[in-house]
Structure 1
């Protein structure tokens, strides 16, 4: 099966958190000047585009990105469709998350425009996080920039997911993906002491595990 790219393309036009560091790439040396190679430089927030949050992002005592187990970000996943929902709640998830789901990806929209930062988004409720823990989920992926509203200071969704032992993958692209079982690879970079990391997230369809 062909791998499906679910990561946002990084370019100068990609939306970033208001007030955060925008993405930029530039050549700092060219083959003409070096005589051998082109060399580029990248500047960006760790939370631009498709990325993983480390607990340290919202908890000074939380694990940093290089301390998280890689096994969390590789393995079987299940995609559910929840188009247009206002929040990701327990009542939404009940009955549609299969047993033995380890990694859950939630599709909330049919079109993605990575050049526009949303004013609102479907936040994850603490009850939903607790429910996913009872289901054995270890990673939640969403197709929006955050598991909390952009203006939230309490970050209830982030804290509840961390308390439930569930890793956070944000800003994946699922508009071209149907619900079902997949193999997921979404490895964060080994950024020592970092609060998050961009990832190249990909899926490959697999047969039903039921």
Structure 2
């Protein structure tokens, strides 16, 4: 295992919205301590200039390890954490399937984040896109349906991304077993994981819509 000690985790100060929550969920589940650093937008450029020489991607979310290494961007970071902490697939075929799902979730996050900049598109999103993303995930979770997670009984890094996207898109409260049995089963199992239950319960039930002015 790469030195996952004295971790510093950086993302914008958006509560649980945006792309920052999947890694928090995974680290809590793995019982890995980390410093959760929320960056205000006004401080982003200075921070970016500070890290860009050592971390050319210069994008969030980002983990800095105790030995000074940087690992970032949502899916690559989650894949790295999964490999280091035992949340990866056991064979190449399943690993590819997990990566596919993570790619789909990245699209879902992007659609949600677009509303930060175009809040007038919320109704269009709810009417046209939310159902597409949920239906896609219901299908993916039906592939290995002997267990509640994407690969059945084995939880992987993509499961944390899926739950975070569902939470951000306010799907959890309206999820019905008769409509999406695979996702319903997944959420029930995920929210009752030993190291996640207390953390999830502590999260706000209703966060204000993020609006980022476009200059």
| Structures share fold, TM-score greater than 0.5 | no
Q: Calculate the TM-score normalised by the size of structure 1.
A: 0.31
The structure where strand makes up a greater share of residues is 1
Q: Calculate the TM-score normalised by the size of structure 2.
A: 0.30
